[in-house]
Amino acid sequence: MLLIHCPYCDETLPELEFAYAGEAHVIRPEDPSAMSDEEWRDFLFIRTNARGPHFERWRHVHGCARFFNAVRDTVSDRFLLTYKAGEPRPDLASLEAAQ
């Protein structure tokens, strides 16, 4: 069972309270009608699927119900950091140096 830190509740809680919500920092198109088929494919279907640190969204669905972002190592499943939605994407090199 993963233990996940909710940055809003400021508590570390079992995985069962949370719902995974896919890759983070996927930016919605500002002008959908101007998008090519390739751009739609990349937005809708292509994912990083990183082996190692992965930026992802979680939702504290059985708590505050808010979405937040996390950096998790997909090989060890260890969380490197969780941070509030809307905060800038953290720098991976400094994150790894801090570990």
- Applying the rule CB under 8 A, the residues between 5 and 34 that interact with another protein are 15-16, 19-20
| The only residue of 41, 62, 84, 89 in contact with another protein, by rule CB under 8 A | 41
| The only residue of 42, 65, 87, 95 in contact with another protein, by rule CB under 8 A | 42
Q: What is the C-alpha to C-alpha distance for residues 38 and 53, in angstroms, rounded to an integer?
A: 26
Are 91 and 81 in contact by the 8 Å Cβ rule? The answer is no
84: nearest Cα among 23, 9, 3, 12: 9
Rule CB under 8 A: which residues touch another protein? 1-2, 15-16, 19-20, 37-38, 40-42, 44-47, 49, 51, 54, 56, 72, 74-77
